[in-house]
Amino acid sequence: MKPSESTWNMAVVKDCGACPIQRQAICSRCASDELNILDQMKSYRTYSKGEMITYTGAPVSHVGTLVSGVASISQGLEDGRRQIMGILLPSDFIGRPGARVAQYDITASSEVTMCRFEINAFEKLLATSPALGPRLLEMTMDELDAAREWMLLLGRKSAREKIATLLFMIAMKNKSLSGSDANEALDFTLPLTRETLADYLGLTIETVSRQFSALRKDGVIHVQGQRHITIPDLRRLLVEAGDDYSGSVLP
């Protein structure tokens, strides 16, 4: 099994007690009584690769948690330009309580499974639950922090720095998920196409491709096949990312 599959596409478990993402998701703070209620409310739905989960202006009937797969939040100008505002990974929450109309397009980048709640029922529970609200607030603030960090990248970083930053972040996420050792070489499979990458980084596919080649020639990354990346020296990659002093402390 390839790294990407083990990390981003784990098997879906339909029993809350055994759910692999329960500890990170919206329900992570719920006591067993609330978990039971959610268990009763939930329904699963699977979206195929490329399918739109929702789109700007669409009526919203459900909110929920992404259980497996990768999806992207995006918005476009009508001349075709498109910007991805966020990548959704397992345990991320989709939907805004209080909103009955979707603000963005959400597209499945791979096959995606969601654990969904009907929005009215969810809001009702949210209003009374002592655990749901604070957790949702925390997750929303994390997303806000991530969005703001991305604004620095979009507004001020060069193409090379953008690619390096993204690779660094994916490498770190992988490292923490797989709990691998500190300084060994990291490798992973990108779950994103060049086009998705480009839309995420505010670049074109050609520029993304060129920068990948450049980083490969300079030995910052190694590439096997189309998507499989090896990072020989994480520190080197961090320097290329531009903000070497940054928050993420390497030993």
The residue (of 85 and 115) whose beta carbon lies closer to its own copies is 85
Q: By CB under 8 A, name the one of 1, 77, 182, 249 that touches its own copies.
A: 77
- Nearest CA to 122 out of 33, 28, 26, 56 is that of 26
Residue 193 interacts with DNA (CB under 7 A)? yes
Residue 188 interacts with DNA (CB under 7 A)? no
Q: Where are the alpha helices (DSSP H) in the chain?
A: 3-8, 32-41, 119-128, 132-156, 159-178, 194-201, 205-217, 234-240
Cα 180 to Cα 133, 175, 238, distances in angstroms: 33, 6, 18
Asked if residues 68 and 173 have their Cβ atoms less than 8 Å apart, the reply is no
Q: How many of the chain's residues bind its own copies (CB under 8 A)?
A: 39
Residue 213 interacts with DNA (CB under 7 A)? yes
Residue 218 interacts with its own copies (CB under 8 A)? no
Helix then strand then coil, in percent of the chain rounded to 5, is: 40, 20, 40
The footprint of its own copies on residues 106-165 (CB under 8 A) is: 127, 133-134, 136-138, 140-141, 143-145, 147-152, 154-157
Amino acid at 170: I
- Nearest CA to 7 out of 91, 103, 108, 106 is that of 91
117 touches, from DNA, its own copies, none (C-beta below 5 to 8 Å by class)? none
Amino acid at 73: I
The residue (of 148 and 217) whose beta carbon lies closer to its own copies is 148
13-34 burial: b if 16+ Cβ within 10 Å, else e? eeebeebebbeebbbbbbeeeb
For the bound state, the minimum distance from the C-beta of residue 157 to its own copies, rounded and expressed in Å, comes to 8
225 touches, from DNA, its own copies, none (C-beta below 5 to 8 Å by class)? DNA
Residue 210 interacts with DNA (CB under 7 A)? yes
Among the listed ranges 8-16, 145-153, 206-214, 230-238, the one in contact with DNA (CB under 7 A) is: 206-214
67 touches, from its own copies, DNA, none (C-beta below 5 to 8 Å by class)? none
* Distance in angstroms (rounded) separating the CA atoms of residues 3 and 14: 23
Residue 245 interacts with its own copies (CB under 8 A)? yes
**Count of all residues that appear for the chain in the document:** 251
Cα 168 to Cα 151, 186, 224, 244, distances in angstroms: 17, 10, 17, 11
Residue 95 interacts with its own copies (CB under 8 A)? no
Residue 34 interacts with its own copies (CB under 8 A)? no
Binding mask 177-216 for its own copies (x = CB under 8 A): ------------------------xx--------------
Positions in the binding site for its own copies (CB under 8 A): 73, 75, 77-78, 81-83, 85-86, 96, 98, 103-104, 127, 133-134, 136-138, 140-141, 143-145, 147-152, 154-157, 201-202, 242-243, 245
